[in-house]
Amino acid sequence: MNDMKKFCNSINTCFTKENSTFDKLNMGDIISLLRLKSQMTQEELAKKANVSTQTIKRLEGGKKNVSDITCRVILEALGVNISKLTKLLDD
């Protein structure tokens, strides 16, 4: 399983419980939550990640055509170390 899928699965395991009324989080939800927690606008995150604002909007809007590489760059711009976080979530 690649790092991004493992990361999403780990996040979903932590934030969703059996019989929950909430849908599982997708990568766009995760990025949106992290961005808001970092008090960044979509424009600020796009600039920091060196991607277009449209890419951030598309990802947060649930569009599936954003590459794993782009997601990784965005998460790194948010200060997320995917490998370390996935390991922590799985422990």
Task: Establish how many alpha carbons lie within 13 A of residue 81's alpha carbon, considering only the half-sphere containing its beta carbon.
Answer: 5
pLDDT digits (tens, 9 = 90+) for 12-65: 565 555 544 445 567 888 889 899 999 999 999 999 999 999 999 998 988 767
pLDDT digits (tens, 9 = 90+) for 57-76: 998 988 767 777 888 899 89
Question: What's the pLDDT score for residue 22?
Answer: 44
CB 50 within 8 A of CB 70: no
Delineate the domains of the chain, giving CATH numbers in brackets: 26-90 (1.10.260.40)
**CA torsion, points 81, 76, 67, 47, in degrees to nearest 10?**
170
pTM above 0.75, yes or no: no
Q: Please state, in angstroms and rounded to a whole number, the distance separating the CA atoms of residues 72 and 65.
A: 14
